[in-house]
Structure 1
Amino acid sequence: LNMIKRKTGNSSDVVIREIKMGGASDIKTAIVYIEGIVDNQSIQDYLLQSMMKDDHKEEINQHNAIDLLSKDIMTIGNISSINNLDDLFASLMAGDTLILVDGVKQALSASTKGGEKRSIVESTTEMVVRGPKGAFTESLGTNTAMVRRIIKTPDLWMESLKIGRVTKTDVTFMYIHGIANDKVVKEIRQRLKRIDIDSILESGYIEQLIEDQTFTPFPTIYNTERPDVVAGNLLEGRIAIFVDG
């Protein structure tokens, strides 16, 4: 906990909640999350309530605490265990909640991403007479879901990576397996992984870092804020790149 406080500079939005577990209330546990980028309700309902109920108090000890927590006690969807500090901070900064148990050299990370998001509104730059009105927002998950709702096939494959040493921006590329050219998919994957830059603040950064011909008046990469346009292009075998924010 001291290490987390030091590394985050004792920031006021880092919340550390200490709990005691076990039959004799002798196992010290802590929950760590960052206010504002988490869904408070799910921490309340699925983490705190389930950990502080008395059902499992007797059998918990340090050896099985992590195992019991992840398999039996936590009622939240996505839980993974963390073994190193880099993953720990990456997970914390992404809006997950960390569960630390005294005497156990592992941490649990529960997926509690949330916070304020802009709702889906009509596109401001690309007007449409027929077809869906909704446009992309700044949230990556919302955007990929909007395309998933249009193309309901398991062959719509997505791969995610983090780019940017400081911003660690989530970037996802999406293609339809069997329609998109595998060589192009492989090339895009390699080019994205080669990007070494401090910050990706907008999709234009990615565009400039991976495009081929720069001395041409014609756009080699198309950009749009409408999911139906992306869906149409994916069905032609193109590859879509989404950037968080």
Structure 2
Amino acid sequence: MMDTEKQPALFHCSLDENLEKVKKELGNSTDLVTRQVRLEAVDQLLVGILYTEGLVDKNMISSFLESLMIHARKTVIPTEAEREVEPLLLMKDFLLTMGGVEEVYDFDHLYDAILTGDTVMLVEGYTYGFIINTKQWEDRGVQEPSVQTVVRGSREAFSENLRTNTALVRRRINNRNLWLETVQVGEMTQTKVAIMYIKGVVQDSVVTEVRERLGQIKIDGILESGNIEELIQDHTFTPFPTVYNTERPDSVAAGLLEGRVAILVDGTPIVLLVPAVFVQFFQSPEDYYMRADFGILRILRLISFFVALLGPSIYVAITTFHQEMLQTNLIMSIAAQREGVPFPAAVEAMLMEFTFEILREAGVRMPRAVGSAISIVGALVLGEA
């Protein structure tokens, strides 16, 4: 009874019925490819091939079908008694030359396989088949980072392919203690989410916490790592980020060596690093490669942060309430410049901050064709401010 529950024979013995059911369940989708092949050398065995066009390597499937036909002619078939003991294991061992072959017994696993780039082979007269690993789809490959650029350092960035991203990290950390776990998140999308960490460097409690938080996510779809970030962080309504994100493999490798956990999401080039500390966001990727004995650049970033945070408020406080803190010539110059402004200093500072945000958002969202015009307008506005 236990074996039946583990391997339920939900397929029909009729190959045509199985193919029709798959087509019906998938809505007769035009990218679903079904093909039937008859192996004359193996007792006229009828084989059905199913895969999703665009998610598979067609050269691999052609090679698989060719080798299947060739080996079917050359293979010496055992006696009928031996075939009755293991019906299709002979085909798996001798006829299927592809790597990554496993049995499939029910339609649920069949749908998961063909919708993620695998090829399913069903055989007439048998209630189970094989899943063949043929995943291959188009991606933009490894390109130069577009956001986190550096003067000195690696020119590689993550892509939307999960396996490409994990390989980029493993190229930098060639260690057997670099462990990788993969889970599926999202009831509808079934998005693959990978957890990478270095065993012995990271605290086990951190890895356990990441596993638990990912396991608690109940949502229809995960389209980007930002969805994961929002669902696993402690505080949602906070102006400070609590999860570090990057598009650079070298930054992820450095974070793993520091004892952090990387969360990679299939379909996005942005990788998350947890846990994150406040000072980590003042660190540039090239800080690992630049010679800075006293950390002058990082100190400069901290000073700039406080200037940007406190500058407008100090300006409003001094010009409105504490004019005695400034020299007479300076306060007279400021008063002369603001003579024609009909707003108080606080409103003026708020308008300036609002204008900065508008220009930043416009520079990011506007098409490239009109980006130069936005730059010119932004320079004029900032100059006047």
State the TM-score, normalized to the length of structure 2. Answer: 0.61
The residue identity in structure 2 corresponding to 1:49 is E
1:56 paired residue number: 75
DSSP-derived class of the 2:138 partner = coil
Q: Deviations over 1:18-67 (max 9, x none)?
A: 0112536521111111111100011111x201211111274497744521
1:204 paired residue number: 226
State the TM-score, normalized to the length of structure 1. Answer: 0.94
CA distance in 2, matches of 1:57, 1:113: 31
1:4 paired residue number: 22
Q: Deviations over 1:64-107 (max 9, x none)?
A: 45212222221211111112221111011000000101122212
Q: Post-superposition shift, 1:206?
A: 0.5
Cα RMSD (Å) of the superposition? 1.6
CA distance in 2, matches of 1:72, 1:154: 33
CA distance in 2, matches of 1:97, 1:166: 21
The residue identity in structure 2 corresponding to 1:10 is N
Taking only the aligned residue pairs, the percentage that are identical comes to 44
1:27 paired residue number: 45
CA distance in 2, matches of 1:60, 1:175: 51
Verify the 8 A CA contact 1:97 1:112 in the aligned structure 2: yes
The residue identity in structure 1 corresponding to 2:241 is P
The question of 1:104 aligning with 2:126 is answered yes
The question of 1:37 aligning with 2:37 is answered no
CA distance in 2, matches of 1:27, 1:239: 50
1:189 paired residue number: 211
The question of 1:94 aligning with 2:116 is answered yes
| Shift in alpha-carbon separation, 1:24–1:211, aligned structure 2, 3 A | closer
2:94 paired residue number: 72
The question of 1:14 aligning with 2:32 is answered yes
2:139 to 92, 117, 123: 117
Q: Which has the higher helix share?
A: 2
DSSP-derived class of the 1:2 partner = helix
| Shift in alpha-carbon separation, 1:130–1:10, aligned structure 2, 3 A | same
CA distance in 1, matches of 2:42, 2:142: 50
Structure label with greater radius of gyration: 2
Which stretch shifts more, 196-205 or 60-69? 60-69
- The structure, 1 or 2, with the larger RCO (C-alpha pairs under 8 Å, 6+ apart) is 1
2:330 paired residue number: none
Q: Which has the higher strand share?
A: 1
Aligned residues: 244
Q: Deviations over 1:146-202 (max 9, x none)?
A: 000000001100000111111111111110111111111111111111111111000
